[in-house]
Amino acid sequence: MSDAPHVVIGATGMLGRAVVAELRGRGIEPLTPTRAEVDLAQPDSIDALPMCEALFNCAAWTDVDGAEAHESEATVINGKAVSRLAMKCSGGLVTFGTDYVFDGRGESPYKTDAKRDPINAYGRAKAAGEQLLESSSTSWLNIRTSWLYAPWANNFVLTMRRLMHERESLKVVDDQRGRPTSVEHLARASVELWSRGETGHWHATDGGECTWYEFASEIKKLTGAPATIEPCTTDEFPRPARRPAYSVLDLSQTEAELGPMPHWKDNLADVLRRVPEGITNA
C-alpha cells in the first residue's frame, strides 16, 4: 500500500459516518474533506484533491424529489463528478448507486448486470455516473443499495419511530417492495469488497425483502409504539419523482463472496436497540 491517503467524501452523511467508523475499526484513518473543501458540483475542487490510495464517495445529490426539477445539477454531482473522482485514486474508487437505475417493474431481484432503465431523474443521474465509470480506464467499485437507515441522521426508521409516538394512526405505502439496508452493515460489506480488490457493479443491502408498510410494522413491533398503522397505495401519496413498485436488488454475487447478508429484521432490531430514548433524528 502506498503512503497516499484514504479519503471519504460525504463523511457527514448517513452512510459516510459509518464508512469512516468502519475504516477506523480497520486501523485506517481517512481524510474527510468537508463539502466546503471538496464540492462535487465544482470540478476544480475535485482536481485539487491529492492522489488517493482509495476514495470512498459517500456524497451524492440525495434529494430524490428535488432532482426532478434540478436534473442537470444532480447529474453533475451523481454523474460527472463520480468519474472525475475515479481519476484521483491509485487504489480505486468506491462509490454508491441505487435501485432507482432500474425500471421498478421487475418481478424477481435485479441482477448486477440487469438492463438499466432509470425510473426517475435521480436514477438517471446515477445511471449517468455508472456509464461514465464503465467507459473510464480507472479502477472502480460501484455498490448499488436501497432504503438506507441508521441510528443517526434523517431516515425512515427514526422518522417512523417518532411519528408512531406523536400520532394515533399512520398510513404507510404497501405497494412498493424492496430491501432495507443498515448503513453499518453496508459500510462493512463495502469496505470488505474493496479490501478484497473487487471492482465493477455490486449490490449490498440487508437480506430479506418487504414493503414500506411491513418495514413500519416491524418498527412498531420492536418499539412498542402505540400508533395504529394502516397500509395504503403509492397513489394516495403523490410525489414529484416516481417510485418503483419492485426494486429488490439481487444479492447472489455479494453473498457468494461475503456469505449471507443479515436479515433486515435482525439489522433493524440491532439499530433500534442502540438508538437512545428520546433521540428521533440525530
Ligand X SMILES: NC(=O)c1ccc[n+]([C@@H]2O[C@H](COP(=O)([O-])OP(=O)(O)OC[C@H]3O[C@@H](n4cnc5c(N)ncnc54)[C@H](OP(=O)(O)O)[C@@H]3O)[C@@H](O)[C@H]2O)c1
Cβ-closest position to ligand X: 13
Considering only 54-62, 83-91, 226-234, 249-257, which stretch makes contact with ligand X by CB under 6 A?
54-62
Contacting residue, 20, 148, 187, 248, with ligand X by CB under 6 A = 148
Expressed in angstroms, the distance from the first to the final Cα of the chain is 36
122 belongs to the catalytic site = yes
- Confirm or reject binding of residue 142 to ligand X (CB under 6 A): no
Q: E strand or H helix at 181, and its extent? A: strand 181-182
CB 184 → ligand X: shortest distance, Å?
A: 12
Using an 8 Å Cβ cutoff, are 89 and 53 in contact?
yes
**Residues in the chain, overall count:** 282
- Confirm or reject binding of residue 16 to ligand X (CB under 6 A): yes
Contacting residue, 8, 60, 173, 251, with ligand X by CB under 6 A = 60
Residues in region 156-195 near ligand X by CB under 6 A = none
Contacting residue, 6, 7, 8, 15, with ligand X by CB under 6 A = 15
- Confirm or reject binding of residue 35 to ligand X (CB under 6 A): yes
Contacting residue, 20, 49, 54, 62, with ligand X by CB under 6 A = 62
Considering only 11-19, 83-91, 238-246, 263-271, which stretch makes contact with ligand X by CB under 6 A?
11-19
Catalytic residue among 110, 122, 149, 213: 122
Residues in region 195-254 near ligand X by CB under 6 A = none
Residues in region 71-130 near ligand X by CB under 6 A = 77, 96, 98
How far is the C-alpha of 247 from the C-alpha of 6, rounded, in Å? 32
How far is the C-alpha of 40 from the C-alpha of 27, rounded, in Å? 27
Using an 8 Å Cβ cutoff, are 227 and 168 in contact?
yes
CA-closest candidate to residue 56, choices 120, 6, 5, 122: 6
C-alpha cell at 74: 444532480
Helix 264-273 vs helix 183-195: crossing angle, to nearest 10: 120
Contacting residue, 6, 7, 8, 14, with ligand X by CB under 6 A = 14
Q: Which residues of 227-252 are buried (b: 16+ CB within 10 A; e: fewer)?
A: bebeebebeeeeeebbbbbbbbbbbe
CA dihedral 54, 139, 104, 203 (to 10 degrees): -60
Considering only 102-110, 147-155, 189-197, 218-226, which stretch makes contact with ligand X by CB under 6 A?
147-155
CB atoms inside a 10 Å sphere around CB 257: 13
Considering only 14-22, 163-171, 238-246, 262-270, which stretch makes contact with ligand X by CB under 6 A?
14-22
Where on the chain is the footprint of ligand X (CB under 6 A)? 10, 12-16, 35, 38-41, 58-60, 62, 77, 96, 98, 145-148, 153
Point out the residues that are catalytic: 122
